[in-house]
């Protein structure tokens, strides 16, 4: 039976590192796994990702482009893979738009809800893993990166708003979230992920 699982968190939370391990662990258990990301996941999506991560724009434009890339991603990758019985693991999905464009940028939450209803009214993740770290920890991790995109270059107060946006989203959809303390050691996080795999 197919599953749609998303990984979320502020930049620097370490979710991408854990996503790779989690996907490999599922494959070792015999599951057919598709790993993808947002923005991106398709040829058009990756082109939009390049624009979104590197070019300044109006916040409305930013949100619309995110959902445009998402619509392509859903129709070309996510839905076909789920129909084929595969497990889809995505590095970010619509929760990120609510957190970043809604929480971080201050875009009206209702407008984002309208976009979500238009783009995927019948699709939500079966499970969302939210990797949570204090913003100062995330910023310290990002300081090791040589090249930062325009989101990663934002100030700490932006990421505090993003984190709050995620928690607002969790309050609205508590049944599909697992919050993981990503400030722990890698081994401790992996132990938690192993526990999660045993329950899904």
What are the pLDDT digits (tens) for 53-103?
999 999 999 999 999 999 999 999 999 999 999 999 999 999 999 999 999
Q: Is 11 annotated as a binding residue?
A: yes
16 annotated to bind ligand: yes
Give the fold, CATH level 3, of 4-199: Rossmann fold (3.40.50)
138 in a known ligand binding site: no
35 labeled binding residue = no
More confident: 190 or 156: 190
Check whether 165 is labelled as a binding-site residue.
Answer: no
Q: Would the annotation count 45 as a binding residue?
A: no
The response to whether 13 counts as a known ligand-binding position is yes
User: Greater confidence, 137 or 112?
Assistant: 112
Question: Cβ contacts of residue 192 below 8 Å, gap of 6+?
Answer: 180, 181, 184
pLDDT digits (tens, 9 = 90+) for 43-52: 999 999 999 9
Task: Determine whether the annotation assigns residue 15 to a binding site.
Answer: yes
Confidence (pTM): 0.94
Nearest to 84, CA basis, from 1, 194, 178, 198: 1
pLDDT at 146 over 70: no
Fill in the DSSP letter of residue 39: S
């Amino acid at each position: 039976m197919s599953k749609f699982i998303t990984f979320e968190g502020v930049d620097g939370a370490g979710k991408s590192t854990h996503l790779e391990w989690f996907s490999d662990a599922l494959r070792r258990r015999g599951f057919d796994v598709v790993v993808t990301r947002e923005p991106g996941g398709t040829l058009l999506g990756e082109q939009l990702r390049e624009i979104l991560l590197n070019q300044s724009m109006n916040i409305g434009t930013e949100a619309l482009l995110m959902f445009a890339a998402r619509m392509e991603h859903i129709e070309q990758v996510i839905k076909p893979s789920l129909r084929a019985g595969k497990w889809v693991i995505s590095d970010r999905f619509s929760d990120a738009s609510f957190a970043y464009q809604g929480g971080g940028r201050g875009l009206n939450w209702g407008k984002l809800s309208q976009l979500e209803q238009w783009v995927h009214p019948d699709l939500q993740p079966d499970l969302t893993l939210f990797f949570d770290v204090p913003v100062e920890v995330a910023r310290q991790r990002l300081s090791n990166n040589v090249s930062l995109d325009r989101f990663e270059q934002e100030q700490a107060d932006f990421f505090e708003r993003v984190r709050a946006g995620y928690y607002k989203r969790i309050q609205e959809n508590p049944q599909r979230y697992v919050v993981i303390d990503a400030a722990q050691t890698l081994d401790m996080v992996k132990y938690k992920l192993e526990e999660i795999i045993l329950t899904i």
